[in-house]
Chains A and B, each alone.
Chain A
Amino acid sequence: MYAANFLLLGAVLFSIGVFGVIARRNAVMVLMSIELILNAVNINLIAFALMNDSAEGHVFALYVIAVAAAEVGVGLAMVLMIYRNRRSIALDELSEMRG
């Protein structure tokens, strides 16, 4: 197994996720792109754990999975609240904090 395989896959997924975060206007779609980014990071962590034959990378990946679950819960609750107040979750309309 080539070491670069997993790392290149992670890099591709990360770039696609970054594109999604930049391009998407819908807040739920941006959260999905963030999930892509976090999964790319996890693939890299598992690949490094495989290279070094250690369990620490797996533990880090499990931490990332748990934090991602918490982030999605809070993020979707915020999206729901914004939708309830404004009837829209388009991110470019949330410009009240602009100076």
Chain B
Amino acid sequence: MSALLASEVNVAQNVGFYIIAALMVYGALRVVSTRNVVHAALWLVVVLGGVAAQYILAAAEFVAVSQVMVYIGAVMVLFLFGIMLTRATIGAESDLNNRGWGIGIPVAALLLAVMVWAIIDEFGSSIIEEPAQPMPTTALSDVFLREGLVPFLALSFVLLAAAIGAIVLARKD
């Protein structure tokens, strides 16, 4: 607690971070543990919205807006369509998990322990100084249109191929 009151740490930013982070972790746990597929999709909205809020806390406004538009706007609609088109029953289901689902707990715990150890070891005491202003979108476009131009064009072809591939796969004939 005394660390939170250190002068170089913005207390309001930290408190906001912890509140949003707790909400996100709870939502993520509900996504992987609920018995209702529609509820899982709605908890995923909470997590994705929390991620967008964290982006704003991290001074990444353009990415936050993109997150809201692409994930909450488009991807979640796709998920809800997928759920509605592939489900016969509405409501709780009892067979959403594999038979050997318990093996996932030690695997995830081990992975988390290794990552937490590495993060604490490397970044345990380092403090990010406050950015003067959010990352300007012009800086992003400079990267996109100079060294990032080839991946940017490749990405547009990936999206085109994905759209055509999805239509071909899902077409009824």
Give chain A's interface residues, CB within 8 Å of chain B: 1-9, 11-29, 31-33, 35-36, 39, 42-43, 46-47, 49-51, 53, 55-56, 58-59, 61-63, 65-74, 76-81, 83-84, 89-92
Contact = CB atoms under 8 A, between A and B. Distances in A.
A81 to B, nearest CB: 5
Nearest to A70: B162
Interface residues of B, number: 86
A90 B104 contact: no
A17 B44 CA distance: 11
Interface in B117-153: 119-120, 123-124, 126-128, 130-131, 135, 139-140, 142-144, 148, 151
Contacts of B107: 18-19, 22
Chain A binding surface, main DSSP class: helix
B127 A59 contact: no
A17 B28 contact: yes
23 contacts: A1-B14, A2-B123, A3-B128, A9-B25, A15-B115, A17-B32, A19-B107, A22-B101, A24-B32, A25-B95, A32-B41, A33-B32, A35-B71, A35-B75, A46-B54, A46-B55, A47-B58, A50-B59, A55-B140, A68-B70, A73-B163, A77-B170, A91-B98
B165 A74 contact: yes
A10 to B, nearest CB: 8
Contacts of B101: 22-25
Contact of A77 (B10, B108, B166): B166
Nearest to A22: B104
B30 to A, nearest CB: 10
Give the top 10 A-B pairs by smallest Cβ distance, nearest first. A70-B162, A22-B104, A20-B32, A23-B101, A19-B108, A77-B169, A15-B112, A11-B115, A77-B166, A55-B139
